[in-house]
């Protein structure tokens, strides 16, 4: 793990990033915004413990990176195994997750450990765990509680030691209420919880992430690294980012390709101009209070007093 300085703040990256099949956004996370700093404290408290963890956050917000950070902060020496539950075949979910014995089906000349067995001694990350079929959820809970799995076609269970880190972009409590998520598995996961705020709610992270993506893509494309103009920075901070970090990555990649000078301007971002969110207004107010001139702080005070009198 290494730290790069971006806007004077630490940026988390992984040294094997170039060899990883993960996208760029799944290799970096910043903890600049106050909400992100609190998240990092919570994450580092959970990482060394044996508890399962449920990460809740919107699609594209960086949940897998948090899971990888938890694994690296633990004392587990096994693999980090990442599984997208939505991509598991409903027909072969049992075999994919728990493995199968030799001869379990035609063409199975040898046994396979499955995703669960591959994570033995390590961490199993299940993205969008709500997409798992209910019967598989029940088997998953049994495997976690009993520390053993029975592969498809096997007669005896195999011992396993797996820590589960799961992620969801939906409210699993609501899914439990309508019978679409296993209640006991939900309570098992709730022992450790992390809430990853949407990018629009951690405005302080936006520019640091933008600089990171700009540097990575400039290096990959062998292009000079342009500066992000003050006007473009304001556009980035005011955008609502419905696609979260994934959208920010795409916007910066596009801007790098269409900018012609040594500076990225608002028109290169191809973003609509939208009014700032409450989180963005609060962030800008804090910036003025902490780092603004006396005139800027006085103007902000008058504005707030005027709003209070309305």
- Domains annotated for the chain, with CATH where assigned, are 34-89+122-139+163-195 (3.40.50.300), 199-308 (1.10.8.60)
pLDDT of residue 111: 62
Token reading at 139: 């088997």
The token pair that represents 48 in the structure block: 């060394």
- Beta bridge pairs of residue 227: 263
Low-confidence winner among 58-72, 97-111, 119-133, 194-208 (lowest mean pLDDT): 97-111
Helix 230-238 to helix 244-258 angle (10° resolution) is 150
- Inter-residue contact 114 to 95 (CB < 8 Å): yes
Within 10 angstroms of residue 122's Cβ, the number of other Cβ atoms is: 18
CB-CB contact of 196 with 57 (8 Å)? yes
Tell me: pLDDT of 29 over 90.
no
Specify the pTM.
Answer: 0.77
Q: How far from 208 is each of 123, 141, 161, 271, CA to CA, in Å?
A: 29, 39, 38, 18
Q: What pLDDT score does 17 carry?
A: 42
**In the predicted structure, residue 2 carries a pLDDT above the cut 70:** no
pLDDT score recorded for residue 102: 61
Which parts of the chain fold into alpha helices (H)?
A: 34-46, 63-72, 93-98, 114-118, 134-146, 172-177, 183-189, 206-220, 230-238, 244-258, 266-269, 278-291, 294-308
- List pLDDT tens digits, range 204-257: 999 999 999 999 999 999 999 999 999 999 999 999 999 999 899 999 999 999
Instruction: Kindly state the average pLDDT of the residues 69-92.
Output: 91
Sequence-distant (≥ 6) Cβ neighbours of residue 133 within 8 angstroms: 90, 93
**Residue 190 or 10, more confident:** 190
Distances in whole angstroms, Cα of residue 165 to Cα of each of 4, 42, 98, 160, 192: 27, 15, 16, 16, 9
Strand partners, 127: 84, 167
Tell me the backbone φ, ψ of residue 227, rounded to 5 degrees: -85, 155
pLDDT score of 4: 38
């Amino acid at each position: 793990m290494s730290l790069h300085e971006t806007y004077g703040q630490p940026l988390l990256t992984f040294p094997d990033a170039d060899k990883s099949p993960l996208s760029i956004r799944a290799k970096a996370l910043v903890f600049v915004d106050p909400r992100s700093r609190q998240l990092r404290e919570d994450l580092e408290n959970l990482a060394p413990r044996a508890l399962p963890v449920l990460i809740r956050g919107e699609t594209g917000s960086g949940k897998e990176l948090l899971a990888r950070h938890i694994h690296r902060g633990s004392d587990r020496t096994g693999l980090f195994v990442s599984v997208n539950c939505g991509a598991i075949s409903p027909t072969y979910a049992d075999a994919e997750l728990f493995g199968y014995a030799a001869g379990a089906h035609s063409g199975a000349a040898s046994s396979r450990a499955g995703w669960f067995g591959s994570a033995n001694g390590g961490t199993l990350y299940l993205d969008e765990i709500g997409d798992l079929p209910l019967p598989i959820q029940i088997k998953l809970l049994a495997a976690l509680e009993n520390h053993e799995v029975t592969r498809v076609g096997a007669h005896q269970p195999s011992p396993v030691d797996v820590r589960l880190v799961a992620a969801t972009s939906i409210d699993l409590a609501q899914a439990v209420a309508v019978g679409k998520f296993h209640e006991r598995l939900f309570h098992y996961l709730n022992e450790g919880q992390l809430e990853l705020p949407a990018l629009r709610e951690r405005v302080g992270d936006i520019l640091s992430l933008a600089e990171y993506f700009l540097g990575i893509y400039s290096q990959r494309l062998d292009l000079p690294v342009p500066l992000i103009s003050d006007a473009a920075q304001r556009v980035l901070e005011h955008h609502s980012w419905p696609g979260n970090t994934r959208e920010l990555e795409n916007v910066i990649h596009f801007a790098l390709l269409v900018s012609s000078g040594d500076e990225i301007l608002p028109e290169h971002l191809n973003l609509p101009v939208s009014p700032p969110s409450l989180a963005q207004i609060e962030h800008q107010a804090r910036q003025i209070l902490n780092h603004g001139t006396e005139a800027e702080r006085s103007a902000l005070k008058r504005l707030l007093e005027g709003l209070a009198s309305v």
